[in-house]
């Protein structure tokens, strides 16, 4: 009887995890569409300048800072399933609104709501693969990351199909409304299983033992694994932001191509990312994760050089493919490092802080890059970003070799 109960529990957890992955697929595909299509809508339909587009992207990032801190860190574990469903529904409601926007103020307001939903939901989703099966944690995290990449490949292809049918940029948002609704439906089904109800969340007693959210955050900031994960993830965050925010505008203006080719280049980028994450899934568990992060930094610098110096559309296309590899590696490896060095009951809070720190960078970077393009131009801006990438990589190297400021993770 006990074996049957355990087998039934495993099957239910498997179904719950599968539904979480399905919801993640639809949710991330739609969220990425907003990131890549919003600049085109803002520039060519609403007439915004590069700094104004950067401000729009920064608004999304700013809400990404506040949402995890104000929502996830104070959430009761029993409310996790309801919160995930509510946040997904809020996100789904905003998608068709983009199709009828008529001013920059309307765009900014809608982006604030979208950023709030995504900022609070992703830390909750990530905590599931990180803690559901500690023995297969690397594989589960890599599988989750692969699902993200699959959605990022499918999304641009759908966008290309809509544009090829002369639907226009605004019709893309209407088409993706269906995917957002599917994400809500998957999460609603997942709530029927124990995992979706908050099995990956800390118990109320554990939260009480850990202290207040502020005290728990201070503990995390002294955790070496957490800090290594943050530094590792930041080495690619800045280049990724400029590629998403200004990559499409750069290709259109430099080579005079249509929107369809822009989306195909992003599809190439995300295919490279997906293949990389599939490889990490197959190779899991991953040893010496920090060394693989160093490889990721080297590929990031190579990709930025090709993008900034590329004399032809072909070379720029190669740069998109090269930059896709560290996109697949960095987030996956960083969240693996975080998961193996942080207690399972603290993972939702750790993920919230992890995303919030990244969101701080995401808030500042687009506006600064937008201003930088006015000074040096768009193409040279890609080369300038090599400097902060190198600085972050050197900080990670020095930190990983120094004395531990807190709880040390297992050997990477």
Q: What's the pLDDT tens digit per position in 92-113?
A: 999 999 988 888 889 999 998 9
131-146: average pLDDT: 83
Q: Computed over its alpha carbons, how large is the radius of gyration of the chain?
A: 20
4-12: average pLDDT: 53
171-197: average pLDDT: 81
Q: Is the pLDDT of residue 32 over 70?
A: yes
Q: Which residues contact 102 (CB under 8 A, 6 or more apart)?
A: 46
Over the stretch 267-303, which tens digit does the pLDDT of each residue have? 888 889 889 999 999 988 888 888 888 889 899 999 8
Alpha-carbon dihedral 393, 398, 401, 403, rounded to 10 degrees: -130
Q: Which residues contact 412 (CB under 8 A, 6 or more apart)?
A: 228, 287, 288, 289, 290, 291, 337, 400
3-state helix, strand, coil in the chain (%, to 5): 85, 0, 15
Helical packing angle, 313-341 and 259-283, nearest 10°: 40
Average pLDDT over all residues of the chain: 80
Q: Where are the alpha helices (DSSP H) in 102-203?
A: 104-131, 137-164, 168-190
Confidence of residue 209 (pLDDT cuts 50, 70, 90): very low
339 touches 406 (CB < 8 A): no
Q: How far is CA 234 from the centre of its chain?
A: 12
**Does the predicted model carry a pTM greater than 0.85?**
no
Cα separation, 139 vs 209, in Å, equals 30
Q: Which residues contact 379 (CB under 8 A, 6 or more apart)?
A: 250, 254, 308
116-125: average pLDDT: 85
120 touches 87 (CB < 8 A): yes
Over the stretch 235-271, which tens digit does the pLDDT of each residue have? 888 888 888 878 888 888 878 777 778 878 888 888 8
Over the stretch 342-370, which tens digit does the pLDDT of each residue have? 877 778 778 888 888 877 777 777 778 88
Residue 29 — φ and ψ, nearest 5°?
-60, -45
Q: Is the pLDDT of residue 81 over 60?
A: yes
341 touches 223 (CB < 8 A): yes
Q: Is the pLDDT of residue 212 over 60?
A: yes
The percentage of the chain sitting over the pLDDT mark of 70, rounded to a whole number, equals 86
277 touches 149 (CB < 8 A): yes
CATH 1.10.10.10 fits 2-401, yes or no: no
Q: pLDDT higher for 406 or 372?
A: 372
Over the stretch 36-76, which tens digit does the pLDDT of each residue have? 888 888 888 888 888 888 888 778 777 777 777 777 777 66
pLDDT at 184: 92
Q: pLDDT higher for 235 or 210?
A: 235
Question: Which has the closest alpha carbon to 33: 186, 246, 183, 180?
Answer: 180
319-341: average pLDDT: 90
At 85, which helix (H) or strand (E)?
Answer: helix 80-94
Q: Which residues contact 56 (CB under 8 A, 6 or more apart)?
A: 38, 39, 42, 48, 104, 107, 108, 111, 366
pLDDT at 399: 67
Q: Is the pLDDT of residue 390 over 70?
A: yes
Please state the length of the chain.
412
pLDDT at 203: 44
**By three-state DSSP, how is residue 95 classified?**
helix
352 touches 68 (CB < 8 A): yes
pLDDT at 193: 65
Residue 409 — φ and ψ, nearest 5°?
-80, 175
The percentage of the chain sitting over the pLDDT mark of 90, rounded to a whole number, equals 15
Q: Which residues contact 184 (CB under 8 A, 6 or more apart)?
A: 23, 85, 88, 89, 92
pLDDT at 277: 92
């Amino acid at each position: 009887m006990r074996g049957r109960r355990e087998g039934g529990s495993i099957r239910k957890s498997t179904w719950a995890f599968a539904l979480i992955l399905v919801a993640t697929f639809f949710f991330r595909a739609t969220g990425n569409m907003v990131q890549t299509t919003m600049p085109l809508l803002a520039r060519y339909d609403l007439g915004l300048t590069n700094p104004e587009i950067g401000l729009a992207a920064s608004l999304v990032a700013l809400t990404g800072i506040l949402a995890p801190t104000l929502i996830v860190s104070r959430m009761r574990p029993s409310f996790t399933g309801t919160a995930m469903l509510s946040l997904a529904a809020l996100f789904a409601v905003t998608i068709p609104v983009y199709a009828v926007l008529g001013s920059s103020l309307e765009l900014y307001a809608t982006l604030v709501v979208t950023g709030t939903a995504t900022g609070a939901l992703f830390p909750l989703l990530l905590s599931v693969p990180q803690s559901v099966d500690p023995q297969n944690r690397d594989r589960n995290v890599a599988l989750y990351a692969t699902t993200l990449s699959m959605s990022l490949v499918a999304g641009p292809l759908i966008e290309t199909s809509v544009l090829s049918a002369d639907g226009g940029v605004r019709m893309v948002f209407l088409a993706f409304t269906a995917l957002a609704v599917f994400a809500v439906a998957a999460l609603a089904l997942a709530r029927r299983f124990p995992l979706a109800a908050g099995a990956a969340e800390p118990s109320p007693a554990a939260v009480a033992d850990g202290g207040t959210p502020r005290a728990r955050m201070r503990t995390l900031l002294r955790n070496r694994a957490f800090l290594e994960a943050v530094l590792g993830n930041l080495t690619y965050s800045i280049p990724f932001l400029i590629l998403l925010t200004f990559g499409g505008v750069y290709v259109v203006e430099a080579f005079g191509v249509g929107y369809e080719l822009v989306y195909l280049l992003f599809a190439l980028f995300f295919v490279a990312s997906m293949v990389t994450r599939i490889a990490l899934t197959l190779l899991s568990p991953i040893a010496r994760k920090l060394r693989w992060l160093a490889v990721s930094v080297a590929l990031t610098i190579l990709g930025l050089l090709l993008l900034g110096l590329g004399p032809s559309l072909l070379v720029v296309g190669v740069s998109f493919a090269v930059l896709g590899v560290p996109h697949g590696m960095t987030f996956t490896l960083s969240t693996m490092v975080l998961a193996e060095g942080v207690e399972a009951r603290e993972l939702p809070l750790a993920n919230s802080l992890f995303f919030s720190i990244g969101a701080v960078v995401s808030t500042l970077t687009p506006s600064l890059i937008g201003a930088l393009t006015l000074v040096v131009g768009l193409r040279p801006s890609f080369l300038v970003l090599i400097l902060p990438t190198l600085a972050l990589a050197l900080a990670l190297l020095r930190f990983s070799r120094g004395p531990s400021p807190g709880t040390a993770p297992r050997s990477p």
